[in-house]
Amino acid sequence: MLKQLLQERIVTLSCIEMPFQQHVYKMQNCVEVLGIEAKSLQIENDKIITGYIVDQSIFFKSVRFGQTNVIFSDGVNKAIVQLFVRPSGEIVVEVKPYLGGAEIVPVYYRTILADTAIAIDLKGALKHYLVAHQFMNIEDSIAEVHYQSMHPNVLKDSFLGNFVLGCHVDGRNILNAEEYALANRQASLLFSKIVIQQNGKRQMIACNKLLTFMITNHVYVGYEDIPNLKLV
């Protein structure tokens, strides 16, 4: 509770000189983002934000500072969008998509720096997926990843062939020392190119896929120690 109050205080102080202004946020209404194509939405607190669907787009407009959830439905399945309106009026969106038909890649944390710190093991998770689906061998390594993120507040688009961390729920960038802030969050990534190192040679593999990374709060010394790692 104290940690949350301090974080809210930091956000408020950083925006104290900026008067509240209404902002409009647009997002795609599609399976790649929501896991469904939404037909309706339900806002838990419409005093914080308003929203509506127009064809393949969803629009949100900030009303006042605060946080709320929006539930989207296609008539059968549901997706949840968490919205945080900053004191400036800027809107930060995080999507928890419907996962019915998604290809899931579980992501764990590993210890680093002689077990004094932890880091999210995105490359290790992707390698386990590619090995399990016979795209690469266990002795190979991943040299580059190129993808577009459907959920950039969790993981941003790749940069120079690397994974890039996203944001806290209030929109502040996540630093390497704060990677645990990604625990229990999920992001769908649309891969366009993956380059592996195989027998001393770089080789591009055909993996044009939309994969959903589910980041757990489990910490392991190494992926070899993870029991019963299951990939969908």
- The predicted-structure confidence for 93-135, as pLDDT tens digits, reads as follows 999 999 998 999 999 999 887 777 889 999 999 999 999 999 9
In the predicted structure, residue 89 carries a pLDDT above the cut 70: yes
Residues 6 or more apart whose Cβ sits within 8 Å of residue 160: none
- The predicted-structure confidence for 71-84, as pLDDT tens digits, reads as follows 999 999 999 999 99
In the predicted structure, residue 38 carries a pLDDT above the cut 60: yes
Strands (E) across 49-179 are located at 49-54, 57-62, 66-73, 78-85, 91-96, 103-112, 117-120, 141-149, 155-159, 162-165
The pairing of beta strand 141-149 with beta strand 155-159: unpaired
DSSP 136: S
**Between 132 and 221, the higher pLDDT residue:** 132
Q: What is the pLDDT of residue 65?
A: 94
Residues 6 or more apart whose Cβ sits within 8 Å of residue 225: none
Q: What ranges in the chain are assigned the alpha helix state H? A: 2-14, 31-34, 122-132
Q: Count H helices, E strands: the chain?
A: 3, 15
Interatomic CA distance for residues 115 and 117, integer angstroms: 6
The CA–CA distances, whole Å, from 86 to 31, 68, 149, 219 equal: 28, 12, 23, 32
Q: What is the pLDDT of residue 31?
A: 95
Q: What is the pLDDT of residue 221?
A: 75
36 close to 3: Cβ distance less than 8 angstroms: no
pTM metric for this prediction: 0.83
Predicted confidence band of residue 215 (pLDDT cuts 50, 70, 90): very high
Tokens of 141: 């390594």
In the predicted structure, residue 181 carries a pLDDT above the cut 60: yes
At 134, the amino acid letter reads Q
Query: Across the chain, what does the average pLDDT equal?
Result: 88
